[in-house]
């Protein structure tokens, strides 16, 4: 929720400066509405009124926060992200490669430390966005689910989950930056979005399978992350009339659903 304050001063400029000082913000960070213009009164003394303004501190969006938290891209480029899956800011900026190496004597992989690093990163992002988010974690052998709960968290999902995928991408980069031998894969979820997305993919898989059977032609799906591809494979694994396989290089890897050849 945006921060709104009202301030008075001899002039509009004085009132605005007082508001900026209180909010610890710059002019471009706020929106101002003049409630009352100053008046000098009779003979410049009687009935004089100060200026009164309402100042609203703008809420930072996801891209602005990412730009502040992620350094400029190093000369070594990372493959471009999937078009439409991750905001443009991720295409232009990535975390710098950490040159510091862990001493060879310290080879123990600390799961708790990696998970704590992921939570710390997310907490800093949410603090910069001025939103309150509770982070709950659940683990299996290879994956860690970070369930994000709070009010009005739709902005963390974005169109077709692209903002959530971007945040998940950054979380994995940050949490695993010191660990070269073992890694944890973090899955971020908001308001049960992943489950709802899985249900949508199940319906998509059945529809695509019917098309492949009807046309007797393979059907290529759009690029998906590995968890979404797994949903497609799982949904059709018992369908005896089609087969699925993934092809392409990450992050452009996609699923092809093909009709099985008929026996002679």
Between residues 155 and 203, which one has the greater pLDDT? 203
Q: Which two tokens stand for residue 107?
A: 């080879």
Share of the chain above pLDDT 90, in %: 28
Between residues 139 and 162, which one has the greater pLDDT? 139
Q: What is the pLDDT confidence band of residue 214, given thresholds at 50, 70 and 90?
A: very high
CB 242 within 8 A of CB 209: yes
> Across residues 184-213, what is the average pLDDT?
92
Q: What is the pLDDT confidence band of residue 51, given thresholds at 50, 70 and 90?
A: confident
Share of the chain above pLDDT 70, in %: 75
- Using alpha carbons, list the distances in angstroms from residue 49 to 35, 37, 38, 42, 214: 12, 8, 5, 11, 78
Interior angle at CA 61, CA 58 and CA 64, nearest 5:
100
pLDDT, one tens digit per residue, over 92-125 is 434 433 333 334 435 567 888 999 999 999 999 8
Query: What is the overall mean pLDDT for the chain?
Result: 78
Q: Is 159 exposed, middle or buried (0-12, 13-18, 19+ CB in 10 A)?
A: exposed
Predicted confidence at residue 202, as pLDDT, reads 94
Q: What is the pLDDT confidence band of residue 68, given thresholds at 50, 70 and 90?
A: low
Predicted confidence at residue 108, as pLDDT, reads 66
> Across residues 120-143, what is the average pLDDT?
88
> Across residues 47-52, what is the average pLDDT?
77
């Amino acid at each position: 929720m945006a921060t709104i304050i009202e301030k008075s001063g001899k002039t509009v400029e004085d009132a605005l400066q007082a508001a900026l000082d209180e909010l610890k913000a710059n002019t471009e960070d706020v929106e101002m509405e003049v409630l009352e213009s100053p008046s000098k009164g009779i003979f410049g003394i009687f009935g004089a009124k100060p200026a009164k303004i309402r100042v609203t501190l703008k809420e930072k969006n996801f891209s602005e926060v990412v730009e502040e938290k992620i350094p400029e891209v190093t000369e070594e480029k990372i493959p471009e992200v999937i078009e439409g899956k991750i905001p443009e800011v991720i295409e232009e900026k990535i975390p710098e490669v950490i040159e510091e190496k862990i001493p060879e004597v310290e080879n123990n992989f600390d799961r708790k430390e990696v998970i704590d690093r992921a939570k710390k990163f997310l907490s800093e992002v949410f603090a910069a966005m001025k939103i309150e988010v509770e982070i709950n974690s659940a683990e299996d052998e290879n994956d860690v689910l970070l369930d994000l709960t709070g009010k009005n968290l739709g902005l963390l999902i974005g169109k077709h989950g692209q903002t959530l995928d971007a945040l998940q991408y950054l979380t994995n980069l940050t949490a695993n930056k010191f660990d070269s031998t073992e890694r944890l894969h973090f899955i971020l979820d908001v308001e049960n979005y992943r489950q709802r997305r899985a249900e949508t993919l199940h319906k998509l898989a059945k529809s695509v399978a019917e098309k492949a059977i009807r046309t007797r032609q393979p059907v290529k799906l759009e690029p998906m992350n590995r968890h979404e591809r797994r949903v497609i494979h799982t949904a059709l694994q018992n369908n005896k009339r089609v087969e699925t396989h993934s092809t392409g290089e990450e992050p452009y890897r996609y699923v092809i659903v093909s009709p099985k050849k008929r026996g002679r």
